[in-house]
Structure formats: C-alpha cells, structure tokens
Amino acid sequence: MQTEGMVIHEHGGPEVLGRQVFELDEPGPHQVRVRIRAVALNHLDLWVRRGGPAFRLSYPHRLGSDLAGEVEALGPGARGVSLGDRVMVHPAISCGTCAACRAGSDNLCRTYQILGENTQGGYATHLNVPDDGLLLIGNALDFATAAALPLCTLTAWQMAYRKAQVRPGQTVLITAAGSGVSTMLIQLCKLAGARVLASTTNPAKVEPARQLGADEVIVSSEKDLTREAKRLTGRAGVDVAFDHVGGELFEKALAATRRGGRLVICGATAGFTPKIDLRHIFFKQVEILGSTMGRKGDLAEALPMMLDGRLRPVVDRTLPLWEARTAHEALEGRQVFGKIVLTVP
C-alpha cells in the first residue's frame, strides 16, 4: 500500500527532512499495521539525522521512536490486539529468542533496534510493528499523550528502579530537568519517596520542574552544581545522581555523589569524554551504572500508572507531522520543556 511520511535521504540539519509517499508492505507474520496518530520527538531523532558511525540507514529513512495510533491490519498469526484498538507502541524490537530475550532482558539483545534509529520509525501515517510491542490504551489517553510516554518512561524506569534502586528517604540529583527522561525521573523518584534535587541551565524551567515534584531546583548556569548539591545535603552529597548530558555536567554530578552512592547515566548529549578524577570513584566507592532503554516488561509494568495519571508526560507543544523541521529546530535549540509531539492527520 502507499503511505506518506517525513523522511531523510542523507544526514544533515533539519533541512534534510522532506515529505514523501512510499510503499509499505502488508504486515507479515505476527506483525500489525498501525495507523499512526501521533509521534513524539527524542534527542535520538537529532543524532540519527545528524549522522555518525553507529547509524547504518536504509534510505529513505523515517525517524521516530515514540508513537501511538490505531490497529488497522493484522498479519498472519497476529495476537493480543483487534482491529480498531487504540495502542501505544513499544519503541524497540529484539530477536525474542536469544538468552537475553528469554531471560526478559531484551534491551541486552545483540540485535536490539530502537524504532527510527537503525530501523524505520514513526514519522509516517502507517508502520508495521511486532504484535508483542503493542500496549492497549483504551480511551484513557489521547494519542499525543500516549506518544509522549514510551521511550522516556522505559528509560527512566530502568534508571530509577532497576539500576539506582531508589528508596524512600534518599536524596537524588537529576540533571537537565526539562528533558523527557528527566521529567519522568522526577515523577518516579517522588513516587518512590525520595527527595529530588533537579538542575537546569535555564531559569524559566525552575517552576515547571517544581510543579512536577522537584523539591529543589539548581540553576547550574548561575551556581556551581556540585557545591549546591553538597550544601543542600549537609555536605554529604546525594545518594543517587542521574545524568544523560555527559561532559562537564557528568563530572559535577559525580563529585556531588556521596560515599557509597550511585551515578546512573543513559546518554551524553554534551560530550562523550568527560575528565574524571578517579579518586571520586574509588575513595568514595561510588558505583557508576550505564543504562540504555529498559526491559519490555518494564513498560507493561508502568502502563497502569500511565493510564491512571500517576505518571504523566510533559507535552511542551504539538505540531503537525509535516512541520517536523520546525520541531527539530526547537528541540535542537533547547527551547523545550518535556516533549514535542507531531500529530499525524
């Protein structure tokens, strides 16, 4: 069938995004065709569009990891959903048969693919996806809200609950408070009973972070992050620090972590090669934990909390899919608190 989307034919700036009609195969065995109604942006979209050695794309390539819509067609043997069901789509695909997948750790699968990264994504009107990657949302969520949830919730859930094991009474530090992952981390850590210190370089993001549940917000462009975190913890440091910025901010977060604390990192938007004083690690016995995405079951576990409103995404704005260039420019310019969602007509 013919469908339409925003695609790229080469790496570059937002200008490489263009509207195009293309052919979509009928869904194969255990696949479902989803009529996409909304797709949310992630920083991953920017990285893939810009290019790098990790990306091996088949052009025309469609970005977009987070999507929601309606089940439009079922492939042979498709299970778990019916035509017309309103669904949220899991943002990644794994083989399902390796040792990691069988153990429930699908995000450790060697063939793990995130939608829109090294496989086709949701910047389109339709997409075929595996039947085990669909979560029913009924009428509890509108499509824009549902699209804003999957990747950031999955990532934050693993960071907070599986890696850091946040407990009541702990103090945590969350950098880049306005990002999608950080807005979820603030909520998850508050639900766990932790005290939340958040940081941002933009004073305009202080109040929105407080409204999400942050107990203290440090404007790191005005005050030293490590010094403020130490002051707010009686010089002890935080029990857990969460970072996905990297670079100098990673160094500050590490220095702000207490003896025996943990630092969990899931990205490096500001740089991959921070300067680390190893004494902050071995003398203080700090654990540094890497994290990418989360287990498929984690999103299913979080689903009831998303449906009843205990977890809610922050949608900064919605734009039509055909204005994807404008959306990329806004996200690249750090003009966003939370998520930008593209609506699909």
Nearest partner of 38 among 332, 334, 240, 317, judged by Cα: 317
Give the SS3 label for residue 196.
strand
Cα separation, 159 vs 147, whole angstroms:
20
- In this structure, the answer to whether residues 285 and 166 fall within a common structural domain is yes
Give residue 265's domain range. Answer: 153-290
Cα separation, 104 vs 276, whole angstroms:
33
**Which pLDDT does position 69 carry in this prediction?**
98
| 336: pLDDT strictly greater than 80 | yes
Question: Average of pLDDT values for 48-61?
Answer: 92
- In this structure, the answer to whether residues 144 and 163 fall within a common structural domain is no
Cα separation, 151 vs 157, whole angstroms:
10
Q: How confident is the model at residue 270 (pLDDT cuts 50, 70, 90)?
A: confident
- In this structure, the answer to whether residues 157 and 178 fall within a common structural domain is yes
Whole-prediction pTM value?
0.95
Identify whether 170 is part of a domain.
yes
For 330, residues 6+ apart whose C-beta sits below 8 A from its C-beta are 317, 336, 340
User: For 283-329, what is each residue's pLDDT tens digit?
Assistant: 999 999 999 999 999 999 999 999 999 999 999 999 999 999 999 99
- In this structure, the answer to whether residues 143 and 174 fall within a common structural domain is no
User: Rounded to 5 degrees, what are φ and ψ at 236?
Assistant: -75, -35
- In this structure, the answer to whether residues 57 and 160 fall within a common structural domain is no
- In this structure, the answer to whether residues 141 and 158 fall within a common structural domain is no
Identify whether 308 is part of a domain.
no
**Which pLDDT does position 247 carry in this prediction?**
86
Place of tokens 């609950």: 161
Identify whether 136 is part of a domain.
yes
**Which pLDDT does position 14 carry in this prediction?**
98
DSSP notation for 227-255: HHHHHHTTTS-EEEEEESS-HHHHHHHHH
Query: For all residues of the chain together, what is the average pLDDT?
Result: 96
Identify whether 102 is part of a domain.
yes
Cα separation, 253 vs 262, whole angstroms:
10
- In this structure, the answer to whether residues 83 and 132 fall within a common structural domain is yes
Q: For residue 300, what are the CA distances in angstroms to 83, 97, 134, 244, 307?
A: 21, 20, 10, 24, 11
**Which pLDDT does position 49 carry in this prediction?**
97
**Which pLDDT does position 56 carry in this prediction?**
87
**∠ CA(326), CA(328), CA(331), 5° rounding?**
110
- In this structure, the answer to whether residues 93 and 221 fall within a common structural domain is no
- In this structure, the answer to whether residues 223 and 178 fall within a common structural domain is yes
Identify whether 225 is part of a domain.
yes
**Which pLDDT does position 269 carry in this prediction?**
78
**Which pLDDT does position 272 carry in this prediction?**
81
Report the CATH number that the domain containing residue 221 is assigned in CATH: 3.90.180.10
- In this structure, the answer to whether residues 271 and 203 fall within a common structural domain is yes
Identify whether 70 is part of a domain.
yes
User: For 64-112, what is each residue's pLDDT tens digit?
Assistant: 999 999 999 999 999 999 999 999 999 999 999 999 999 999 999 999 9
How many domains are contained in the chain?
2
Nearest partner of 145 among 325, 284, 338, judged by Cα: 338
CA dihedral 164, 165, 171, 176 (to 10 degrees): 40
| 38: pLDDT strictly greater than 90 | yes
- In this structure, the answer to whether residues 228 and 270 fall within a common structural domain is yes
Nearest partner of 116 among 52, 65, 49, 69, judged by Cα: 65
**Which pLDDT does position 335 carry in this prediction?**
85
User: For 17-33, what is each residue's pLDDT tens digit?
Assistant: 999 999 999 999 999 99
Q: How confident is the model at residue 137 (pLDDT cuts 50, 70, 90)?
A: very high
- In this structure, the answer to whether residues 211 and 275 fall within a common structural domain is yes
Identify whether 230 is part of a domain.
yes
**Which pLDDT does position 268 carry in this prediction?**
84
Nearest partner of 81 among 10, 131, 142, 138, judged by Cα: 131
Identify whether 301 is part of a domain.
no
